[in-house]
């Protein structure tokens, strides 16, 4: 029996539905705690007392608990989708324009950019995502349509959409992103007009998806780059490996070390309160609860993932 089969067989024996119920019970006292992101005015209106979690397995099963079908603003989780598109378009050349190291700074920090000549530390901080957006704009005639089609295909949900209200709310309050993008452009690391880069970026962040959408959509990263349903290649296995590695080291902002310590999985969070995590060769798990900790990660969500890997033994360590 191949090692992948052993792992899949182990996951098949786990009672994931009961694990999710247990987690929902354990994190209930945390739900509603923390701060809902308010620097994007539209997100400040999201009720804090929500919790949802969904697991999608490579053998085609789906489990969920709580508000797992409710759509929310995926924000920076979108950076893992856009990185996939940019890496497919540019291959290894991409790494001349964006680094692969954790930043150790807040996701919207300006300070490193000056010292590092406009090359963002990684694709998951805001500056890095602007460079990725620029690559997609240069390589794709209809960038937003391409992104939306990709996300709809991956999630199997044609109703996934972009919330224009969230996008324009962020544009109106997006002074820091505007500063970052202008700064990168001054170093010659953006080819497209800053306005276009920001417009794409604010729209990708405004994608609305549920936990079940996210769990299904990211199965390709658990499946060595292949679509779980058709087996077709989405991205080659080497690139899937690299995206997972970046999610582990940089996917949860300057809390990535703490997150690896607690959860032990590649993961990407967003200030909408969502987190997607990948158990390579086994499953994906998405969680959502809008209350954030001081680093911008979902408070109840991070605890739920900590419990998930502890209860199931499914982490990369
Ligand atoms: O640009 C922002 O601040 C938000 N659209 C996204 C922030 C987020 O989710 C965390 N970023 N790494």
Domain locations along the chain: 3-312
> Do residues 132 and 79 lie in contact, with contact meaning Cβ atoms separated by under 8 Å?
yes
Contacts of 257 (CB under 8 A, 6+ apart): 102
> Do residues 189 and 97 lie in contact, with contact meaning Cβ atoms separated by under 8 Å?
yes
Q: Any catalytic annotation for residue 220?
A: no
Q: Any catalytic annotation for residue 271?
A: yes
Any ligand 1 atom below 6 A from CB of 212: no
Give pLDDT, residue 202: 98
Give pLDDT, residue 14: 83
Top-level class of domain 3-312? alpha beta
Any ligand 1 atom below 6 A from CB of 76: yes
Length of the chain: 317
Question: 37: part of which helix (H) or strand (E)?
Answer: none
Q: Any catalytic annotation for residue 31?
A: no
Residues of the chain with confidence (pLDDT) below 50: none
Q: Whose CA is nearest to atom 4 of ligand 1?
A: 75
Q: Whose CA is nearest to atom 2 of ligand 1?
A: 126
Residue from 40, 107, 290 whose mutation best tests the ligand 1 pocket (most atoms within 8 A of CB): 107
Any ligand 1 atom below 6 A from CB of 107: yes
Give pLDDT, residue 123: 98
Give pLDDT, residue 13: 78
Give whole-number Cα distances, 278 to 53, 56, 224, 253, 316, in Å: 13, 10, 11, 17, 9
The pTM is what?
0.96
Any ligand 1 atom below 6 A from CB of 170: yes
Give pLDDT, residue 4: 66
- 253 C-alpha to center of ligand 1: Å? 10
């Amino acid at each position: 029996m191949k090692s992948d089969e052993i792992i899949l067989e182990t996951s098949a024996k786990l009672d994931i539905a009961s694990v999710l119920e247990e987690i929902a019970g354990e994190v209930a006292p945390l739900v509603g705690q923390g701060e809902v992101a308010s620097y994007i005015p539209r997100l400040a209106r999201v009720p804090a007392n929500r919790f949802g979690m969904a697991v999608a397995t490579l053998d085609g099963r789906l489990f969920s608990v709580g508000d797992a079908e409710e759509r929310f603003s995926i924000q920076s989780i979108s950076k893992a989708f856009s990185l996939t598109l940019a890496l497919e378009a540019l291959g290894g050349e991409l790494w001349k324009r964006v680094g692969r190291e954790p930043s150790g700074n807040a996701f919207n920090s300006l300070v490193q950019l000056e010292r590092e000549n406009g090359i963002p530390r990684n694709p998951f901080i805001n500056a890095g995502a602007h460079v990725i957006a620029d690559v997609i704009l240069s390589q794709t005639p209809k960038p937003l349509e391409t992104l939306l089609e990709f996300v709809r295909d991956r999630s199997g949900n044609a109703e996934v959409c972009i919330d224009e209200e969230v996008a324009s709310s962020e544009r109106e309050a997006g002074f820091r992103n505007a500063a970052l993008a202008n700064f990168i452009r001054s170093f010659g690391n953006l080819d497209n007009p800053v306005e276009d880069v920001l417009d794409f970026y604010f729209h990708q962040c405004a994608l609305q998806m549920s936990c079940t959408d996210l769990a299904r959509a990211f199965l390709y990263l658990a499946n060595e780059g292949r679509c779980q349903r058709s087996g077709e290649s989405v991205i080659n296995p080497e690139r899937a490996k690299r995206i997972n590695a970046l999610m582990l080291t940089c996917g949860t902002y300057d809390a990535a070390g703490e997150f690896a310590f607690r959860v032990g999985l590649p993961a990407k969070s967003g200030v909408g309160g969502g987190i997607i995590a990948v158990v390579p060769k086994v499953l994906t798990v998405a969680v959502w609860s809008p209350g954030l900790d001081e680093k911008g990660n979902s408070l109840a969500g991070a605890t739920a993932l900590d419990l998930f890997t502890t209860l199931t033994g499914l982490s990369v360590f």
